[in-house]
Amino acid sequence: MTPANFLAASLTDGAVIVRITEAQGSTPREAGATMIVSARASAGTIGGGQLEFHCIDLARIMLDSGGPQQLIDIPLGPQMGQCCGGRVRVAMEPAAAAHLEALRQAEAKAAAERPQVLIFGAGHTGKALARSLALLPVAASLIDDRPGQFDEVPATVACLQLDDPETALAAARPGSAFVVLTHSHALDYRLAEAALLRGDAAYVGMIGSGTKRARFEASFRRRHPGSKALGRLTCPIGGSDVHDKRPEVIAALTSAELVRCLLGDTAMKRARPRNRHDAAA
C-alpha cells in the first residue's frame, strides 16, 4: 500500500504526517523522508530504529491529545539509542485531505521521474531481474519478441511483447538503463550495439562470458572503427567475482550494479544526455 493509499484509509480515524525537514551529518534518512502514523499502523519510513519508534510514539500521543503541529529537533546520539551522530528536525502535523492530495501528486511525480530500466529477454534471468527491480525505485520494463513469456512477473513491471524489441530501445528516455539477455546471441548483439550508439544511456549491460564479449567487441569495432562507445559496455553483467550463475544470483548482482549507476552519487553525471554522435567519436 502506498503512503497516499494508507493515508486515505486512515483519515477517518486520524493520522499524523511525520516528515524529516532537515538532516545534518550522518542520519538514517534524508530531508523529505516521510512516514504516516495512525493509531495502529504506519506507512513509509524515516529510517527505522529508535528514531522512528520515538516519532511513532510522539505521533500517537498527538493523535490521542489532538495536539497541534510540532517541530522537533532530535540529536542521534546515545540518549536516543542511536550512534549515527547526526541530527534531524522532524515535523509532525495532523493529516488532512490536503495532505492526501499532496501525497498523491508527490507519488505521481516521483513515479514519472523514476529512471527507466529496459530488460530485453523474458527468460529465467530476465524474469528474476524483473522481480528484483520491482522492489526498487525504478521504472522497469520486460521486453520479449516471443508471445506468452510474461507469467510470474510483478504487476509493477511493464511487459511488452514486440516483434522488434529495438523499437522500445529507441523510444527510451535519455539516461535509461538497458540490460540485454535475450534468447538469441544475434539479437543480443544488435540491441547492445544500438544501446551503445545512443550515447546517452546510463547503463548498457549484456549477459555473457568473456568470449561473448570479445566476439561482440570485434564485430562492433569492424562496424564502428574508432568508436569509444565500447567503454560503456558492462559484460558480463553482475561482475565476474561470483561464480554462481543461478538466475536469482545474477539478478541480485545486476540490481546492485543498476542501483549504483542510477541512484548513486555519480548517477546524474552518468545519465546526463550527450550528443549521440559523441558515441562514435
Please indicate, yes or no, whether residues 269 and 165 belong to a single structural domain of this protein: yes
Please indicate, yes or no, whether residues 150 and 82 belong to a single structural domain of this protein: no
Beta strands in 121-232 (DSSP E): 139-144, 158-161, 177-180, 203-206
Residue 154 has pLDDT above 80, yes or no: yes
Residue 160 is predicted with a pLDDT of 97
Residue 212 has pLDDT above 90, yes or no: yes
Among residues 76, 90, 70, the alpha carbon closest in space to that of 21 is found at: 90
Please indicate, yes or no, whether residues 157 and 201 belong to a single structural domain of this protein: yes
Residue 271 is predicted with a pLDDT of 43
Please indicate, yes or no, whether residues 197 and 83 belong to a single structural domain of this protein: no
Report pLDDT digits (tens) over 126-140.
999 999 999 999 999
Beta strands in the chain (DSSP E): 16-24, 34-37, 42-44, 70-75, 87-94, 116-120, 139-144, 158-161, 177-180, 203-206, 233-234
* 120 and 191 Cβ atoms separated by less than 8 Å: yes
* 56 and 43 Cβ atoms separated by less than 8 Å: no
End residue of a domain, out of 59, 83, 110:
110
Report pLDDT digits (tens) over 155-170.
999 999 999 999 999 9
Residue 267 is predicted with a pLDDT of 65
* 44 and 3 Cβ atoms separated by less than 8 Å: yes
End residue of a domain, out of 88, 110, 132:
110
Residue 280 is predicted with a pLDDT of 37
Report pLDDT digits (tens) over 41-62.
999 999 988 999 999 999 999 9
Residues 177 and 192: their CA atoms lie apart, in Å, by 11
CATH number, residue 168:
3.40.50.720
Residue 227 has pLDDT above 50, yes or no: yes
Mean pLDDT of the chain: 90
Please indicate, yes or no, whether residues 60 and 74 belong to a single structural domain of this protein: yes
Among residues 205, 232, 234, 228, the alpha carbon closest in space to that of 277 is found at: 228
Please indicate, yes or no, whether residues 81 and 149 belong to a single structural domain of this protein: no
The predicted model scores a pTM of: 0.81
End residue of a domain, out of 95, 110, 125:
110
Please indicate, yes or no, whether residues 139 and 245 belong to a single structural domain of this protein: yes
Q: How many domains does the chain have?
A: 2
Please indicate, yes or no, whether residues 170 and 264 belong to a single structural domain of this protein: yes
Please indicate, yes or no, whether residues 252 and 142 belong to a single structural domain of this protein: yes
More confident residue, 74 or 275: 74
Residue range of the domain that includes 98? 3-110
Please indicate, yes or no, whether residues 203 and 256 belong to a single structural domain of this protein: yes
Please indicate, yes or no, whether residues 104 and 128 belong to a single structural domain of this protein: no
Percent of the chain with pLDDT over 90: 72
Strand partners, 120: 143, 180
Please indicate, yes or no, whether residues 163 and 73 belong to a single structural domain of this protein: no
Residue 268 is predicted with a pLDDT of 47
